[in-house]
Structure 1
Amino acid sequence: MSAYLPTMTQQSFHIPATTACPSLFVRRQPRHDAPAVLYVHGATFPSALSVGFDFGDGSWLDDWNGRDLDAWAFDFAGFGGSGRYPEMAEPADRHPPLGRAARAAGQVAAVLALIRRETGRQRISLVAHSWGTMPAGLATIADPETIEQLVLFAPIARRPGTGALPTLPAWSDVGKEAQHARFVEDVPKEHAPVLVAFDRWAPAYLASDPGAEARTPPAVRIPNGPRADNADAWQGRLAWQPEKLARPLTIVRGAWDSLCRDGDAAMILDAATASPCRRDIKLAAGTHLMHLETGRRVLHEAVGRRLKGEQP
């Protein structure tokens, strides 16, 4: 069981921009000489609003520190503290969706290289959420000796879709009302609300984009590559190949999650036959956003025990 260590001192790093990628913001909540774990966020909000958000009793990073883990997270290009794609300042319909998984995997690899340099550790565990499981999976397959284990929280899987793929622009603006509607839609109507501290989360979300308040209504601008990758997956074209995964794999998901259903978890696990260890952990009373809900401690415990090599 974790002993939370809230308000731990954080370190921050910036990976310089290249011709192919804007700069990347990396945060570390250190436990020196401890195993390292990197969080890979999903499609619409950065690490400060997910693994780094303190609900009043500590963040997920605090939980990892309490388990004697060296906790790391970063923001994909176009999110949070990282640089923006130049195309995000142009009309959205001039460019295809930005930040697709194949290129985002290179950002994961760049952060892993930074962690290895800073810690001297060869292997790092990855915990990835939702769309972030695609670039995390690609990065693991590309350099398996770098990864201790891969934990997929609510992964997007391949579905046998037959419809036409939507045409998405380069970016979208997403307001707090749209986020709230998405966050609560999977909670059964007869159940009490499970979303926590949205009154504090929403202004912090808008503050993650310096241009948000200037829009009408206020909204965060995000790259649409993740949404395009999700749409492709649901039409039968997943951005990574689980059958090539050669590292231990755990899927963790909420029982109410409509984006990661039983069949989705089975698709990934059944394909990942080269993985030396595969687990599926289904948690009660949680949605796709369980890390923002009343059940987050149950999620933290399940993931934390897997990271420590313990049975959940």
Structure 2
Amino acid sequence: MDQYVPAHEYSADLVVEDFMIPSDSAGISLHLRNKRAAAQKACSAERTILMVHGATYSSTSLFDVPLGGTSFMDHLAAQGYDVFALDVRGYGGSTRPPEMDAPAEASPPLVRTDVAVRDLASAVAYILERRGIPRLNLVGMSWGGSVAGAYTADNNDKIEKLALIAPLWLLDTPAPIDSGGALGAYRKVPVLGFRERWLAAAPEAARASLIPEGWFERWAEASLATDPQGNTERPRVMRAVNGPIQDIRDYWAAGKPLYDASDIRVPVLLVHAEWDRDVTTSSTQDLFLSLKRAPYRRWVEIGEGTHMVLLEKNRLQAFNAISQFLAERCT
């Protein structure tokens, strides 16, 4: 299965596989994409990565759209990593809960963080068994950082290192993703109209050069393609579950951590960008200071970037910070 990026756009030096793996719920399968160098034969915990997305866009949308000729997954695979990317249920190529076929107001918010943690657990178990390794590295973005952090806090023995990009943590300002009002099962995201909110986080003088020409359109089309049902509407939309927003209201915006960061006992990297309005610098600092039992921790701040830094002109700074962190041996 390859729904999002035509196969001819992949480098001939990379092997690309897509899996549908079972979740812990009947009728729900999870999409898992894998990329690795064709010459790579041996598997190891240190060189295996599992990535998990945020509250709106799938892992394929965030990590595997080849902007400027390469995606984040391509970048890591070319450096010798065995890279997997998970779509939590309701996202991307994974099964959408049946409630998403009914009007949103007919059901409460779908896919709370605890459900996503269970899906992540299913993916970790699948990869460890398939590759015959005891641990792997986790990379999470935004809400995916909460999911990865919560999983790691209870499963340190299965994680080598943890890298988090703009991870959701306690909020000191209103969450831009939460527009207020009653929450149904899911929301409809007009992706092509997202550019304005994205650029609004940057100073006006920097907006014209933040996203290189053509990148937004390519990314938006790839994101919309993950939800064919939403594409039948005008304007075209992509459905996203509301469970993460309900958790923002119940936990992060209410000053209640969803998990105890001091339970994480593996090396941790935090990557943040200076114009991020969704996860502020002070929120990142609070998480950094809460990682009291990590063997070592690092915080990398990327200048001239927003919450979507992985898709912007300075994305290679984030890519390189993460690959360096995963590659180094600090013993």
CA contact 2:18–2:33 (8 Å) conserved in 1: yes
Shift in alpha-carbon separation, 1:262–1:85, aligned structure 2, 3 A: same
> Which has the larger displacement, 20-29 or 94-103?
20-29
Aligned to 1:297: 316
Query: What's the offset of the Cα at 1:139?
Result: 1.1
CA contact 1:150–1:250 (8 Å) conserved in 2: yes
CA contact 2:55–2:143 (8 Å) conserved in 1: yes
1:121 match: secondary structure: coil
2:185 equivalent to 1:170: yes
CA contact 2:172–2:283 (8 Å) conserved in 1: no
Shift in alpha-carbon separation, 1:103–1:292, aligned structure 2, 3 A: same
Equivalent residue letter for 1:198? F
Query: What's the offset of the Cα at 1:19?
Result: 3.4
Distance (whole Å) between structure 1 residues aligned to residue 274 and residue 329 of structure 2 = 22
Aligned to 1:195: 211
Equivalent residue letter for 1:85? P
1:213 match: secondary structure: helix
The counterpart of 2:18, out of the listed 5, 9, 12, is: 12
Aligned length: 307
1:95-110 superposed matches below 5 A: 95-110=107-122
Aligned to 1:142: 154
Aligned to 2:269: 250
CA contact 2:134–2:158 (8 Å) conserved in 1: yes
Distance (whole Å) between structure 2 residues aligned to residue 265 and residue 17 of structure 1 = 31
Query: What's the offset of the Cα at 1:178?
Result: 3.7
Aligned to 2:284: 265
The counterpart of 1:239, out of the listed 237, 258, 276, is: 258
2:221 equivalent to 1:212: no
The counterpart of 2:303, out of the listed 284, 291, 305, is: 284
Query: What's the offset of the Cα at 1:136?
Result: 0.8
Distance (whole Å) between structure 2 residues aligned to residue 17 and residue 145 of structure 1 = 21
Shift in alpha-carbon separation, 1:145–1:310, aligned structure 2, 3 A: closer
CA contact 2:48–2:82 (8 Å) conserved in 1: yes
Distance (whole Å) between structure 2 residues aligned to residue 33 and residue 24 of structure 1 = 25
2:210 match: secondary structure: coil
Distance (whole Å) between structure 2 residues aligned to residue 259 and residue 119 of structure 1 = 36
Shift in alpha-carbon separation, 1:218–1:118, aligned structure 2, 3 A: same
Question: RMSD in angstroms over aligned alpha carbons?
Answer: 2.2
CA contact 1:33–1:119 (8 Å) conserved in 2: no
Query: What's the offset of the Cα at 1:233?
Result: 0.7
1:152 match: secondary structure: strand
Shift in alpha-carbon separation, 1:221–1:257, aligned structure 2, 3 A: same
Equivalent residue letter for 1:211? Q
CA contact 2:49–2:137 (8 Å) conserved in 1: yes
2:145 equivalent to 1:133: yes
Query: What's the offset of the Cα at 1:166?
Result: 5.3
Q: TM-score, normalised by structure 2?
A: 0.87
Distance (whole Å) between structure 2 residues aligned to residue 293 and residue 135 of structure 1 = 24
Instruction: Render the CA deviation track for 1:201-253: whole Å, top value 9, x for unaligned.
Output: 22221111010221232101111112222333122123222121111111001
Query: What's the offset of the Cα at 1:17?
Result: 5.0
Q: TM-score, normalised by structure 1?
A: 0.92
Distance (whole Å) between structure 1 residues aligned to residue 199 and residue 140 of structure 2 = 21
CA contact 1:251–1:281 (8 Å) conserved in 2: yes
Equivalent residue letter for 1:38? L
Q: Which consecutive residues of structure 1, in runs of 5 or more, have no partner in the other structure?
A: none
